[in-house]
Amino acid sequence: MTRELFWLTLTVVLTGILWIPYTINRCQIRGLGGAMANPSRGDKPLAEWANRLMFAHDNAVENLVIFASLVLILNAVDYSTKWTVLASAVYFWSRVAHLIVYVMGVPVFRTAAFLVGFAAQAVLAVAIFKMV
């Protein structure tokens, strides 16, 4: 496994477990039956942190598609440098930071963490295009 794939695996695992805390909150507020029911406009609202976590999860899923594609392309062409490894690690940690500041409700830092992750993706994309 390349180091880029290692960071991708950590990112996938992180993204894959983000639903657990806000689902627990949903069960606490609406009960198990209410949590498993179809959503409706009359549902009791979740805690604010849980709503923000849901949005952070959506954002993580959307960006995972891009990050994973870039890492898998690099893996397919057997290309790895210290910069692609660093960019992959930075992407993972930017997602951790994004998650934390999003749940805490800190908008400026949330945007900064997102932009760091975007820059890491750009580094991977540039590495791919340098090979062409």
Instruction: For residue 22, give both structure tokens.
Output: 């806000």
Residue 34 inside a domain? The answer is no
Residue 71 inside a domain? The answer is yes
Residue 58 inside a domain? The answer is yes
**DSSP calls for 81-110:** -HHHHHHHHHHHHHHHHHHHHHHHT-HHHH
Residues 6+ apart with CB under 8 A from 61: 15
| Locus of tokens 């997102």 | 114
| Locus of tokens 């994004």 | 98
Residue 32 inside a domain? The answer is no
Residue 124 inside a domain? The answer is yes
| Locus of tokens 């406009």 | 41
Report the pLDDT averaged over residues 18-46: 94
Q: Which pLDDT tens digit goes with each residue over 44-61? A: 999 999 999 999 999 999
Q: Which pLDDT tens digit goes with each residue over 63-121? A: 999 999 999 999 999 999 999 999 999 999 999 999 999 999 999 999 999 999 999 99
- Our count of domains for the chain comes to 1
Tally the residues of the chain: 132
Q: Which domain range does residue 100 map to? A: 3-17+47-131
| pLDDT above 90 (res 28) | yes
pLDDT score, position 117:
98
| pLDDT above 80 (res 132) | no
pLDDT score, position 39:
87
In whole angstroms, give the CA distance from residue 125 to residue 120: 9
Instruction: For residue 104, give both structure tokens.
Output: 């805490």
| Whether the Cβ atoms of residue 116 and residue 94 lie closer than 8 Å to each other | yes
Residue 40 inside a domain? The answer is no
Q: Give the type of residue at 28.
A: Q
